[in-house]
């Protein structure tokens, strides 16, 4: 496969870095993200790259459809006490100053930006994220998800065969499976009484959620649970699946050859002791085709 366009889920990797890099290192989440970025550039030599950001981590259209969506995080005050937020802002500014395409959209999450950019790409796409929601985008041979295991030095390549191996479902059916199963960590309960095993069995047998809901040969208990969950499923369809038609302005995803704002790079590097990881990124860019 020729060099792909790489779409990076900024928040996913930044939080991973925050929890894996010692906090004795100044700006350790950004330090770790830049180190991961350099490794990705060297290992995968992408022909183009974008870094997708959450301009809204709890979009109104998802909350309107399902008020439980990430509601527990609001109740816990995570959005106010998030220790990563100051580093997130510094990292964004530095990445933009270095010349990377940092792409977000008001009212949408990074997963929506990634889905939209992926749809626009004509060649192969590699999405880097620890968010399983993005498995719904997997399409052979167009798009794979590189799912971090250890930093980004060990990445699980999630293609259709891997989706089937992990979940026992058709490789393009992860989105339907996720709708049925739910995700409590995001405030998505799924269909009551339909756990991961039953959801996988249903999707494996019928192929899609639409076919499951239209089936006339379901076990009576399962049919009752699905019938009771129809309103939930109708709402969840607007919440769980990444949106692939975000109104993004045209954006160039070419790799930077020189910083777009050298003075800003120098200022941020000096202020936050980031010379080492920035130099690794520069060397990695120089090695890319």
Same domain, 170 and 57: no
pLDDT of residue 80: 57
pTM of the model: 0.95
Same domain for 170 and 153, yes or no, is: no
Per-residue pLDDT tens for 228-254?
A: 999 999 999 999 999 999 999 999 999
Residue 84 C-alpha from the chain's centroid: 17
Q: pLDDT over 70 for what percent of the chain?
A: 97
Res. 79: pLDDT tops 70: no
Q: Which of 221, 236, 251 is the last residue of a domain?
A: 236
State the total domains in the chain.
Answer: 2
The answer to whether residues 180 and 252 belong to one domain is no
Query: Do 149 and 179 belong to one domain?
Result: no
Whether 157 and 16 map to the same domain: the answer is yes
Q: What angle do CA 197, 199, 201 make, to 5 degrees?
A: 70
Indicate if 134 and 273 belong to the same structural domain: yes
Q: pLDDT-based confidence at 257, cuts 50/70/90?
A: very high
128 or 149: whose pLDDT is higher? Answer: 128
Are 74 and 210 in the same domain?
no
Same domain, 137 and 12: yes
CATH (domain of 105): 3.40.50.1010
Q: What is the DSSP secondary-structure string of the chain? A: -PPPEEEEEHHHHHHHHHHHS-TTSTTHHHHHHHHHHHHHHHHH--SEEEEE--S-SS-HHHHHH-TTTTHHHHHTTHHHH-TTHHHHHHHHHHHHHHT-EEE--TT--HHHHHHHHHHH-SS-EEEE-S-GGGGGG-BTTTEEEEEEEETTTEEEEE-HHHHHHHHSS-TT-HHHHHHHH-BGGGTB--STT--HHHHHHHHHHHSSHHHHHH-S-S-HHHHHHHHHTHHHHHHHTTTSSPPS---PPP---BPPSS-S-HHHHHHHHHHHT-HHHHHHHHHHHHH--
Give the pLDDT score at 151. Answer: 74
Report the pLDDT value the prediction gives residue 72, as an integer from 0 to 100.
80
154 & 180 share domain: no
Do 135 and 259 share a domain, yes or no?
yes
Q: Check residue 73 and give its pLDDT.
A: 76
Domain with 97 in it = 5-162+243-287
Picking from 193, 218, 236, the residue at the C-terminal end of a domain is 236
Statement to judge: residues 146 and 10 lie in one domain: yes
Q: Check residue 74 and give its pLDDT.
A: 74
One domain for residues 49 and 61: yes
Q: List, for residues 22-76, the tens digit of each pLDDT value.
A: 999 999 999 999 999 999 999 999 999 999 999 999 999 999 999 999 988 775 6
Assign residue 206 the CATH number of its domain.
Answer: 1.10.150.20
Residue 149: pLDDT band with limits 50, 70, 90? confident
């Amino acid at each position: 496969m020729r060099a792909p366009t790489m779409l990076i889920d900024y928040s996913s990797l930044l939080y991973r870095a925050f929890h894996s890099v010692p906090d004795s290192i100044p700006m350790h989440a950004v330090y770790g993200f830049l180190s991961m970025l350099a490794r990705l550039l060297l290992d995968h030599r992408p022909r183009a790259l974008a870094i997708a950001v959450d301009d809204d981590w709890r979009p109104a259209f998802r909350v309107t459809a399902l008020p439980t969506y990430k509601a527990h995080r609001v109740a816990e005050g995570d959005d106010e006490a998030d220790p990563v937020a100051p580093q997130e802002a510094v990292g964004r500014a530095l990445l933009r100053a270095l010349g990377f395409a940092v792409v977000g959209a008001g009212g949408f999450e990074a997963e929506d930006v990634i889905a939209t950019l992926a749809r626009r790409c004509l060649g192969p796409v590699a999405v880097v994220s620890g968010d399983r929601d993005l498995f719904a985008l997997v399409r052979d041979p167009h798009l794979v998800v590189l799912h971090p295991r250890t930093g980004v030095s060990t990445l699980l390549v999630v293609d259709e065969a891997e989706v089937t191996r992990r979940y026992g479902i058709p490789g393009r059916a992860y989105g339907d499976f996720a709708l049925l199963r739910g995700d409590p960590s995001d405030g998505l309960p799924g269909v009551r009484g339909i756990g991961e095993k039953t959801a996988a069995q249903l999707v494996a047998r019928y192929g899609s959620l639409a076919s499951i809901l239209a089936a006339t040969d379901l076990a009576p208990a399962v049919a009752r649970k699905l019938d009771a969950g129809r309103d939930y499923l109708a709402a969840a369809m607007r919440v769980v699946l990444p949106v692939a038609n975000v109104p993004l302005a045209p954006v160039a995803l070419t790799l930077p050859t020189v910083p777009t704002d050298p003075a800003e790079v120098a200022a941020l590097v000096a202020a936050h002791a980031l010379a080492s990881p920035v130099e690794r990124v520069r060397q990695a860019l120089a090695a890319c085709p």
